[in-house]
Structure 1
C-alpha cells in the first residue's frame, strides 16, 4: 500500500455559538487548507454552560455539504443509538451525494447520558451499546447496497474508541479510519491489538488510517512527530464556540505540508 499522507482535521464543536459563527468557522477552515471538517453528535454542550446554545449534527452536515466545496465532512462521531441504522445509512448516502462524495461516516456506540435521558433513548450499559453498534454496522453496509441511487463512493467509515475486545474488532471488520483516544504510552499496544484483530479477519492493518485528536496548543513537531512515528496520519484539532479560534490550525497545516512534501 502507498504510504498514507498526513492529514489535518478540525472539529467545529456546535456549542455556545450562533449558527452563523459555525458556518463562518467551517468556511475559514476550508480556506486555511484543512483536510476534514468534523462536528459532533450531541444534543447539549460537553463543556461550559450545560444548557448553552447547541445545534444538531446531521442537519448541519447537510448544510456543510452545500456550503463547502473541497473538504471532507463528517461527525466525530455520530452516535449509533440515536437513529435506526437503515435511516442513518440513507442520511449518509444523501449527504454523500449533496457533497459530491466528501462524507465520512464517523460512528461510535455513545456515552453522554444526558443526551439519552433528555431525548428518551435507553442508556443501558456500555457493553450493550457496543453490541448494538456491532449489529448496526452490517445493516448500514447492506442498506448502502440497496439504495437507489447508490452512494457516490464507498463511504469511509470512521470508528472512534479503543475497547480491546469489541471496539477494535469492529474497526478491523468495518472501518477505513480508526480514531483513538489513547496517549503516547498506550497507543502502541492498542495499535498492536487492532493489528491482531485484522489478522483474525484477513485484513491488512495498513489499510486503516489511524486518527487522533490533538490540542491546538500542542507542538506539531514534537507530539505530531511522535504520533506519526507510531503510524498516526490524521490529526484533528478541536474548536469551541462562541469565537472558534482556528489560529492553531495554521501550524498543524504547515507541519503537514512540510512532512508531505
Structure 2
C-alpha cells in the first residue's frame, strides 16, 4: 500500500497537438469538457512524437490561451512545458496571463526537456540531461519570484506540475516545488519512486501528502484494453497513492472513447 491521501481521483486527457487540424483539436477539447474530464493537457513540442515525423503539429502556449477562452470548467495545462524553450520570467508572465484568461484554471506543467529535434531545428542548446535539469532547478525559483512581481498578480497560486522520474535531481525538485508529480510509472516502479520522493520530502521538511501523484495510463493506441481497464490498470496505482490519471489521444480523430470507463471509475471511487 502507498501513503494515505484523501485527495479525490481526477481524470485528465492529453489532446496531443499532432496529426490533426485545429478544428479537430477544438472539437476534441469541447467533447472532453462535455464528457466531464477534470484536466485537459497538450504538450510542448514542435514536431510530432510518433507517426509521420513531419506531420501536422501546433505550438503549445498559444493553444492553451485559446483553450482558456473556449472552456469554462476544466483545468488546462501542458504535459509538460519544456523549460529550455522560454526565459523563465517570460514563462511566468505567460502562465499568469493564461491563468487570468481562464479565471484561475491553469496548471503550470514543466520539465527539463528531452526531444533533441526540437532543440536542433529551433536553435536551442541541447546540452545534457544533467545540464537541462540544472537549468530547470535555476528556473523554478525565478518563475515563483516573477509571479510575485507581476501586476496583476495571478488569480491563485498557480499549481506546478513537474514531470519526470530522475531520483537525484527531478524528484528533489518535486519535493521542493511541485504541487503535482507526473510519471508514466507502472505500480512496481511507482512504489519505488514514491519511496525516493518520500526521502526528498523528509529532507525538505514537507509532507509528501501535499503532492498530487499523477500517472499516464490507457488511451488510444494502447491495445488490448478492456472495458474494466481502470480496475486492471488504475486500482494498483490508486492503492499506492496516485490520484490523477491521464490518457493521451492524437489526430486526426481524437478518439475519447477510452476515457469514458475511467470517468465512471472516478465517480465510483469518489462516491459521486
TM class, shorter-chain normalised?
over 0.9
Partner of 1:39: 42
Partner of 1:226: 236
Q: Answer yes or no: is the 8 Å Cα contact 2:13–2:39 preserved in 1.
A: yes
Partner of 1:96: 99
The CA deviation at 1:5 is: 0.1
The CA deviation at 1:185 is: 1.4
Partner of 1:184: 187
Among 1, 6, 9, which residue is 1:6 paired with? 9
- Confirm whether residue 236 of structure 1 aligns to residue 246 of structure 2: yes
Q: Answer yes or no: is the 8 Å Cα contact 2:184–2:217 preserved in 1.
A: no
Partner of 1:254: 264
The CA deviation at 1:81 is: 0.1
Partner of 1:60: 63
Among 8, 14, 18, which residue is 1:15 paired with? 18
Deviations along 1:192-251, one digit per CA (max 9) or x if unpaired, are 110110010110000000000001236101211110000000000100000000011110
Among 58, 78, 82, which residue is 1:79 paired with? 82
Q: Name the CA distance, whole Å, in 2 between partners of 1:166 and 1:71.
A: 31
Deviations along 1:73-107, one digit per CA (max 9) or x if unpaired, are 00000000000000000000000000000000000
Partner of 1:136: 139
Question: Which consecutive residues of structure 1, in runs of 5 or more, have no partner in the other structure?
Answer: none
Q: Name the CA distance, whole Å, in 2 between partners of 1:44 and 1:197.
A: 35
Q: Name the CA distance, whole Å, in 1 between partners of 2:101 and 2:145.
A: 21
- Confirm whether residue 163 of structure 1 aligns to residue 166 of structure 2: yes
Q: Name the CA distance, whole Å, in 2 between partners of 1:179 and 1:134.
A: 17
Q: Name the CA distance, whole Å, in 2 between partners of 1:154 and 1:250.
A: 30
Partner of 1:121: 124
Normalising to structure 2: TM-score of the pair?
0.95
The CA deviation at 1:2 is: 6.7
The CA deviation at 1:186 is: 1.2
Secondary structure in structure 2 of the residue aligned to 1:247: coil
Q: Name the CA distance, whole Å, in 1 between partners of 2:129 and 2:186.
A: 21
| Aligned pairs, number | 261
Q: Name the CA distance, whole Å, in 1 between partners of 2:189 and 2:67.
A: 35
Q: Name the CA distance, whole Å, in 2 between partners of 1:258 and 1:7.
A: 12
Moved over 4 A (4+): none
Partner of 1:210: 213
The CA deviation at 1:180 is: 1.5
Q: Name the CA distance, whole Å, in 1 between partners of 2:84 and 2:134.
A: 11
Question: Which consecutive residues of structure 2, in runs of 5 or more, have no partner in the other structure?
Answer: 220-224
Give the superposed CA RMSD: 0.9
Q: Answer yes or no: is the 8 Å Cα contact 2:5–2:241 preserved in 1.
A: no
Secondary structure in structure 2 of the residue aligned to 1:58: helix
Deviations along 1:103-149, one digit per CA (max 9) or x if unpaired, are 00000000000000000000000000000000000000000000000
Q: Name the CA distance, whole Å, in 1 between partners of 2:189 and 2:5.
A: 26
The CA deviation at 1:183 is: 1.6
